[in-house]
A and B are shown apart, each in its own frame.
Chain A
Amino acid sequence: MEPKKLTGEDVRLLYDRHGPALLAYACSFVADAGIAEDIVHQVFVKLLQGETAMPEVPVAYLYRAVRNTALNARRNGFRNAPLDHATSWLVHRGGDREAALALQAALIELPEEQREVVVMRIWSGMTLEEIATAAGVSLNTIASRYRYALEKLRERLKPYEKP
């Protein structure tokens, strides 16, 4: 794939569109929301400084970079504490904090590739086709990952979902 040169404006747009979703994604790996934010920053600052040759699908790179940086942080004992389920990194519009915590817990329990698809789809607003391109797998694979993930989440959130 041809490396693509991103301008500062490109990076800003990416940050505005995917920053919150990437933050949620990073939070699903590390215990501390502050560290998750630092991880997202680190990835974008590297982009701004031109330290990274950008592949054709920047979103895919961003998710990979956040994931790897978060895993490195965990491995290096950044925070050895278990994932803190009481820290809110998702906020319910109607103020249902319990549901938000239940959703967080359910997301953390999902297999990584399913969680990634959910975050990309729900909070990055990507289509399944875009996710398939970003992940470099077939649309069918992404669709089934997504379906399984939704089933699990639905099961966990049943007590909170209003009819």
Chain B
Amino acid sequence: MTWQDDRFEHYLREFQPPKPRALPWQTRTLPELLRRLAAAAVVTVVLGTSLWFAMHPSERGRTEIVTNGALAPEQKATGASLSLLPLTQLAVSDPVRLDAQLAAASRRVLPDFRGERSTLRVLAKE
């Protein structure tokens, strides 16, 4: 190699091929991966929290249910066991069975006054 060759090499190096575009696996940069991980973590936490609340109803929610039940026992009567349409049909077709069914339902739905210390019995004594 002569000095002319060195000089010419130097000149050739003034020409540069462009950098090829990134390989497919290089296009996902580290910050992008971190962002994806962070998003996945947030979704996991939100789902986990929702699931936890679904499986463990809060004390507040439970109190509301109890309170509602205590204040409005008649609401229980509107439950699935006493729906209007079947009862109407029963009244038309078989009034005797309707009476029996209502009597049975009243024991479940209305406050029980048969116990020694039931509220109704105490009030009745007063």
Contacts and interface: CB of A to CB of B under 8 A. Distances in A.
Determine if chain A interacts with chain B: yes
Interface of A: 8, 12, 15, 19-24, 27, 37, 40-41, 44-45, 48, 89-94, 99-100, 103, 118, 121-123, 147, 150, 153-154, 157, 161
Given A40-B20, A44-B23, A48-B25, A122 B14 contact: no
Given A153-B12, A161-B11, A123 B23 contact: no
Contact of B23 (A45, A103, A154): A45
Given A45-B23, A153-B12, A157-B11, 17 more contacts: A19-B19, A20-B17, A20-B20, A22-B20, A23-B17, A23-B18, A40-B20, A41-B24, A91-B17, A94-B14, A99-B15, A118-B12, A121-B9, A122-B13, A147-B5, A150-B8, A154-B8
A100 B15 contact: yes
Contacts of A153: 8, 12
Contact of A89 (B17, B23, B24): B17
Contact of B18 (A20, A92, A122, A150): A20
Contacts of B19: 19-20, 23
B19 to A, nearest CB: 5
B20 A19 contact: yes
A8 B8 CA distance: 36
Nearest to B11: A161
Contacts of A92: 14-15
Contact of A103 (B5, B12, B21, B26): B12
A67 B37 CA distance: 40
Contacts of A23: 17-20
Contacts of A123: 16-17
Contacts of B15: 90-93, 99-100, 103
Contacts of A24: 17
Interface in B12-57: 12-21, 23-26
A127 to B, nearest CB: 11
A80 B93 CA distance: 91
Nearest to B9: A122
Interface in B57-77: none
A21 B17 contact: yes
A48 B17 CA distance: 23
30 contacts: A8-B25, A12-B23, A15-B20, A15-B26, A19-B19, A19-B20, A20-B17, A20-B20, A21-B17, A22-B20, A40-B20, A41-B20, A41-B21, A44-B23, A45-B23, A48-B23, A48-B25, A89-B18, A90-B16, A93-B14, A93-B15, A103-B15, A118-B12, A121-B9, A122-B9, A122-B13, A123-B17, A147-B5, A153-B12, A161-B8
